[in-house]
Structure 1
């Protein structure tokens, strides 16, 4: 990538955001921040109990991720966030207008299998259906790329880096700010 963008690695639970994020950050030579670390304890407790988060629960989490991304503007960084809804991504763009998204996608069966194999994570597989029901894939006017999660983590990170390079090559060096986001955070 020509410029040090802030990249949000997004997708439903189990797509590998926590695994791919640091690998991608290493390839790009920028720091990584784990999105789960921005959740207040109440959110973690709710998810661990099998209760999906609502928009109200996500606001402080998204604002904390957005503040981190804003602080990395011009320096670059990678952060994970499910960013399942357009409104969530709009909120992140309001805080950090130049943010770029890497949407990790894949077959539901593969994702569920990977979730079932995780150890020590608070998100149960029972919430996967709610994640897919909430998911609104990137739209044509959103700056980002979709990357399939089949293969090894190294292969996925390499595909993500290549897709970002391709995205960067098709656009000017500077990303124009999202003018709809300049009025402040969007309501959820």
Structure 2
């Protein structure tokens, strides 16, 4: 019997998409509950920390997207073979988060001139800084981030890229062949491929 849970998030890929990727890979039976931003106040008080995503699993409400990803990654044997592999997964995902926060900052910037400047810096400096280093890691690890094998860090990267690229309306991985190949491998995994083909179309 497959794992069953309910994932609640906004009508977006955002922070929930890596969770969806991992659940899809694990062939989990998950309810993908999406909430309109303007209606979030109606359920906010019911969320543990007043935030989304939240996953209802075995009578508990799980919160914090990376903690949720890690939890299910362990259930689906996506944390590598050693303690060092687990650590490396965490280091990669935390670094991806550092990268993602630049996109969050751009997304919520309301000053048009400042937003344009932030975008220019993101594309000319920040993205090359992170992506070149991610590329080196993947090149040195047999086409994956950790241990020359598929781990949740790979699925997390591919999932969160959906938000990043949707925000900028562009392919961020052009010129980074190892990262392009990694994303392709992840997006064609059984379960993930089916999820991508059936997921709701959203702007972010």
Query: Do they superpose with TM above 0.5?
Result: no
| TM-score normalised by the chain length of structure 2 | 0.33
Larger RCO (alpha carbons 8 Å, 6+ apart)? 1
| TM-score normalised by the chain length of structure 1 | 0.35
Larger Rg: 2
Q: Which has the higher helix share?
A: 2
